[in-house]
Amino acid sequence: MNNKLEKLKEILKSCDNIVFFGGAGVSTESNIPDFRSSSGLYQTKYEGLSPEEIISHTFFMRNNKMFYDYYFEKMVYLDALPNKAHLALAKLESMGKLKAIVTQNIDNLHQLAGSKKVYELHGSVHRNYCMKCHKFYSVEELLSKKDHPYCDCGGLIKPDVVLYEEQLDSKTIDESLKAIVNAKALIVAGTSLLVQPAASFVSYFRGQYLIIINKEKTHLDKYATLVFYESVGDVLDEAVKEM
Ligand code: ZN
């Protein structure tokens, strides 16, 4: 890894327009399970239902009680802390090098680490709104109301998390793609790029250096300047250590 690491350090030093695109593998290093991995959540049935059924818009509207039982048991990790990857990226942003983080994670750990420009493609468990009057609820407030998740106005409170059958937010997509199109270096990490639209996002990159950090191979490895089959946190921590 040493030669590659030196090369990565040079790239990070020379670039002031870096974008990071991250998947579940960034959060697993903070002990948040990867929903889609072979041992992950999506393989396990819950009361006879598949996770895809439960985490769908239809199911949420029909059975919010069971949805929230599942959601707070399997998808919300309020005690999780930023790991070395989150901290390294926050450092790169504060140095003016990293221009944006595009993430598929919903756990807010980039912001907790201090990152400012974070595009959350799948939303965030920390934002919750009444579907009728749009009043904001913190995740703690929602948790305390999970058996009766209704606003004072009578509306149902919904997390700002993209469920199955729902579209990604178009403004977030536009801003993410704009950042990727304009980047000189793109770091893709913790994603196997199998789930759309994640994979297609990376195809918008026109810059010079594509860096992939993922424990498993991806179909874009052959186009990358550098590929690390290692922990995202280990690689990024080493790379920014002396910067
Ligand atoms: Zn309301």
Distance of CA 76 to the CA centre of its chain: 13
Distance of CA 194 to the CA centre of its chain: 15
Give, for 226, the enclosing helix (H) or strand (E): strand 226-228
Residue 142 pLDDT grade (very low, low, confident, very high; cuts 50, 70, 90): very high
pLDDT at site 183:
98
Query: How would you class 196 by CB atoms within 10 Å of its CB: exposed for 0-12, middle for 13-18, buried for 19 or more?
Result: exposed
- Name every residue whose Cβ is closer than 8 Å to that of residue 157 and which is 6 or more positions away in sequence: 128, 129, 130, 131, 137, 142, 145, 149, 150, 151
Ligand 1: centre distance to CA 193 (Å)? 38
Ligand 1: centre distance to CA 132 (Å)? 5
Residue 33 pLDDT grade (very low, low, confident, very high; cuts 50, 70, 90): confident
- Name every residue whose Cβ is closer than 8 Å to that of residue 192 and which is 6 or more positions away in sequence: 23, 214, 216, 217, 218
Looking up tokens 């026109």, which residue turns up?
A: 206
- The whole-model pTM stands at 0.94
Ligand 1: centre distance to CA 139 (Å)? 15
| Count of CB atoms situated within 10 Å of the CB of 1 | 12
pLDDT single digits (tens) 104-129: 999 999 999 999 999 999 999 999 99
Could you give the C-alpha distances from 129 to 44, 73, 117, 122, in angstroms and in order? 29, 20, 22, 15
Tell which residue, 99, 136, 139, has the closest CA to residue 118: 99
Residue 197 pLDDT grade (very low, low, confident, very high; cuts 50, 70, 90): confident
Does residue 122 carry a catalytic annotation? yes
Residue 37 pLDDT grade (very low, low, confident, very high; cuts 50, 70, 90): low
Q: Are strands 18-22 and 185-189 parallel, antiparallel or unpaired?
A: parallel
* Given the residues 86, 110, 122, 126, the one annotated as active site: 122
Could you give the C-alpha distances from 75 to 31, 55, 68, 72, 192, in angstroms and in order? 12, 10, 10, 6, 20
Tell which residue, 219, 227, 232, 206, has the closest CA to residue 109: 232
Ligand 1: centre distance to CA 149 (Å)? 11
